[in-house]
Chains A and B, each alone.
Chain A
Amino acid sequence: MDLYELTISQAHEKLVNKEISAKQLAESVFERIDQVEDKVGAYITLTKEQALKQAEAVDKKIAGGEQIGMLAGIPGGIKDLLCTEGVQTTAGSKILEGFVPPYDATAVKKLKEAGFVLIGKQNEDQYGMGSSTENSAYKKTANPWDLQRVPGGSSGGGAAGLKAGECLFSIGTDTGGSIRQPSAFCGTTGLKVTYGRVSRSGVVAYASSLDTIGPIARNAYDAALILQVLAGADPHDSTTPPVAVPNYTADIDKSIKGLKIGLPKECFVEGLDKQIEKIIMQGVDILRKQGAEIREVSLPHVKYALAAYYIIVMSEASANLARYDGIKFGHQSKDGKDLLEQYKKSRAEGFGEEAKRRIMLGTYALSAGYYDAYYLQAQKVRTLVKQDFEKALEEVDIMITPVTPDVAFKFGANSDDPVQMYLEDVFTISINMAGVPALSLPAGFKDGLPVGMQIISKQFSEDLLLRVGHRFQQETDHHLKTPKL
């Protein structure tokens, strides 16, 4: 086994036992990047020089007999949506090309304090807008299982890069599925946290009432280690509630005997791919054999969640992206005789097609005369969706659904039809609408491509999700499989 293939806990053990150095670990990852990055295209920016310095600092600590945290010396990649001090942060968009943030996002700051080694900034659909990473203004990221297929999105670089061995973990964001869907497509373990569990401060804003930040990892145990560092209230983000952060690994091995699992009947309907359904039901069976009880539950309003979600997302995006004026930072057009014309040209040149589409639709939905029919109605539907989840999660401890309707699709397959692309998110978006956490676990393969199983629980119960995920992965090996590159 090469060093770049290690899990976080394996690498940590080798570091503290002085079997390997953090520098060797980082070098192994960069050698792997040299071998496969041309094919995969996971990174927009690599930070090798800085990474080796960070690794050496950790090695010094170990040599000096200091105790190190679980993430110290561990090479990780960060989605290019999180501000990194002194390192270009593009949000996958040309409008931020060359933007070098003067401060770190809180999540990045916490990871740095934990001693992680930043490998680079990972590719994404611009602003997190997309389900295939094809909306990046910089490059194409390929699915490591089949280079003709998309890695999912928007955190496609994070999931593909991790599966290809180009880091030991990734940090992504999830507004409607952007951690879970690429995790399902690439065979990684991705956690969408409760809204507000991880600070959004310093993360480029997309849809502020739905955006979350979380780990993409090799397994649920690693995801728990990462969340331990990221979670908690932040004075710089007033939407992070003062809910205590549990020890996420303390009970992770505990039996799930008696756990009540709900299968939402609305998610297992005619039209769901038969093989996907079979794989999910096999996954459910593995938990049943460990003593879980299965029953049917109902989420009557989820069928409206997608439409309501896209209204909310586009409205909030149009407001958030109004800040890109080409004056304070970011791309500025060379043309434009006065300020207004310069705004219009800077934004037209800087934003990609999908960003423009969403800004326009959001502007329309928020404009006078349409607000009640669209945004307000969508916010009311959000209430109904949230109530559905609350009710179902009173009856059961967790719910299980597929992550995606099918496996990774080919490049360009959904490019001409935005509505078809939005339907990719049908199983994931209602979770963001309800604000609850969800974990995407590798559950099997269809035609050689990974299939993800989604488990959902109450707000702020990530510990339960990680425990179920860990117990599942003790009995399965789907998460251990890697593609030949």
Chain B
Amino acid sequence: MALTHEQVKHIASLARLDLSAAEVEKFTTDLSNILAYMEQLSEVDTKDVEPTAQVTGLVNISRTDEIEKRADPDLLLKQSPNPIERHSIKVKPIFGDNNHT
């Protein structure tokens, strides 16, 4: 299955990746080749086969809802490259004038 440049740009946007023109070119070829290889999966008869997500058969593992302090919250906040205000991370505007629709 061959992808187009436009499709690759769309996927990149969904994946929040800013690709250069050269990368769009390369990934269009690469992803098409990989998908062509994956096509063989359609040969397998999987009628009446249940999908497996968990290989050891565990289901619905629950635990008591107790707050546990595993790491210092301030230390975790310090990992952020952004300014910290009132124990929160301050980010750039989400609804700026430029992209208000």
CB distance from A231 to the nearest CB of B (A): 14
Whether A238 and B93, one on each chain, are in contact in the complex, defined by CB atoms closer than 8 angstroms, is: no
Partner-binding segment picked from A153-161, A182-190, A337-345: A337-345
Q: Is B92 an interface residue (CB 8 A)?
A: yes
- A304→B44 CA distance, assembly (Å): 8
Give the docked Cα–Cα distance between A325 and B40 (Å): 35
Dominant SS at the A interface?
Answer: helix
In the bound complex, residues from chain B placing their C-beta under 8 Å from that of A435 are 55-56
Please state if A351 and B82 are interface contacts (CB–CB under 8 Å): no
Q: Closest A-chain residue to B15, C-beta based?
A: A363
| Nearest chain A CB to B87 CB, angstrom units | 13
Shortest Cβ distance from A415 into chain B, in angstroms? 12
| A203 at the B interface (CB under 8 A) | no
Q: Please, which residue of chain A has its CB at the minimum distance from the CB of B51?
A: A379
Q: How far is it, in angstroms, between the C-alpha of A150 and the C-alpha of B30 when the chains are bound?
A: 23
Q: Are A364 and B41 in contact (CB under 8 A)?
A: no
**A8 → chain B closest CB, angstroms:** 28
CB interface residues, A 326-377, toward B, < 8 Å: 326-330, 332, 336-345, 347-348, 351, 356-357, 359-361, 363-364, 367, 373-374, 376-377
How many residues does chain A have at the interface if contact means C-beta atoms less than 8 Å apart?
A: 69
Whether B34 and A310, one on each chain, are in contact in the complex, defined by CB atoms closer than 8 angstroms, is yes
Task: Compute how far the CA of A103 lies from the CA of B75 in the bound complex, rounded to whole angstroms.
Answer: 10
Q: Which chain A residue shows the least CB distance to B16? A: A343
**Given A344-B17, A348-B19, A459-B56, A102 and B72 touching (CB < 8 A)?**
yes
**Known interface pairs A336-B92, A339-B92, A379-B52; A318-B15 also in contact (CB < 8 Å):** yes
Contacts of B70 in A (CB 8 A): 103, 236
Whether A195 contacts B55 in the complex (CB less than 8 A), given A340-B99, A348-B19, comes out as: yes
Residues of B in contact with A (beta carbons under 8 Å apart) = 3, 8, 11-19, 23, 27, 30-31, 33-35, 37-38, 40-44, 46, 49-56, 58, 61, 63, 70-72, 75-76, 79-82, 89, 91-94, 96, 98-99
